[in-house]
Structures are given as structure tokens and as C-alpha cells.
Amino acid sequence: MPATSEQMKHLSTHILLLLLLFALPVCGQEAVSTPTDVVNDSTTLLSHSDSVPPVELVYPQILLDMPNVHVEQDSLVTLLMEEKIAGVERGEQERAGYRVQVYSSNNPSRGKSEALLIEQRVKQVVNVSVYVIYASPSWKVRLGDFLTEQQAAEFRNAFKNLCPDLADYTYIVRDQVKIR
């Protein structure tokens, strides 16, 4: 009789826990008993009948001494997170509105660099917020925080005159905009 998906899930949990039990002491780390509440929860998972004795889980000290996690990420991600936090601290709110998109590319080798170059160029020409957005697999550059489509259209027409080489790639998009 084939096993049900619930039985397979239960079996895979048992196998994973057994692998952890036998693999961790082999790693050469000092084994430390877990707190009683963790052991009780784990024993419940491990013993599905009364015939299986409870198993005490042990963890290497290195796992127990890891209160901090270090995340390495692209500097652009850090910058965007800092800007978002700063905006929240200043009381900025977001709502549905419009932006003018002036660039979009899903080219993995050139998309990011072209978006950043266009961002720098546009910042020298206009006095509105410039957003470089990555939504896999596309890089986009969007301008402004317009509450109405009419405001966005007026800005788009003016921008097309300032940067005629980007005019064919410039259009209005719905987006969450910042209210300042």
C-alpha cells in the first residue's frame, strides 16, 4: 500500500531530525543539551508511538552562541532601506498616484548600469524625485510623485523637451507615490 503524503511528510521529518542528531556530534563541536521545553516539543515530534523512547536533542555550542546575523548585500539595497526608514521617520506617507517612467530594461548585463547612468543624468536636468527600481527581471527609472494623471502628463511633456532622446521611452505609470 503506497504511503500518503502525510505519512511521507512525517517520515521525512523523522529522517531530517535523525540526520541532525547523528551529524552534529561528528562536526567536532561541543554538544549542549537544549532547554527542557525544546526537548519536550522535539520528543513529541520524534515519538509517534509509545514503543519509541524519547530522544534528547543536542545542539553544538556554536549554534547556541549566534545572537547576531551578518547579511552581505548590494550597497543599493542598503541605501534603499535607509531611505525608506528615513521617510517613515519623517512621517512620509504613500498613496496611489502616478510617476513618469523614462527607462526600462530586462537586460541582465547592462540594465542596472544603464539605469544608474540615466538616474544621474536626469537628476542634473529635473528637480523631482528620481527612483531606480528593480523588479525582477527589469530595471526601471521613474520620476516624480504625482497625485493626478494630469500632473504627470504635464511633467512628461516638459521632460520630453528636456531629454528628447528619452522621449520614445517615456510614459505615465500608476505607482505608490510619496506624500510630503
Q: For the chain, which domains are there?
A: 5-64 (no CATH), 75-179 (3.30.70.1070)
Is 76 strand, coil or helix? helix
pLDDT tens for 115-167 read 999 999 999 999 999 999 998 899 999 999 999 999 999 999 999 999 999 99
**pTM score of the predicted model:** 0.51
* Gap between the Cα atoms of 138 and 112, Å rounded: 9
Report the pLDDT value the prediction gives residue 106, as an integer from 0 to 100: 92
What distance in Å separates the CA atoms of residue 172 and residue 105, rounded to the nearest whole number? Answer: 16
Q: What is the mean pLDDT of residues 102-127?
A: 92
CB 171, CB 152: distance < 8 Å: no
- Name the residue among 169, 159, 163, 112 with its Cα closest to residue 137: 112
Q: What's the angle, vertex CA 171, arms to CA 167 and CA 177, rounded to 5? A: 130
Look at residue 78 in the predicted model and tell me its pLDDT: 80
Identify the CA nearest to 115 among candidates 87, 94, 96, 143: 143
What's the average model confidence in pLDDT over 82-99? 77
Residue 14: the pLDDT is 54
Query: Could you read off the pLDDT of 6-17 as tens digits, one per residue?
Result: 665 555 565 655
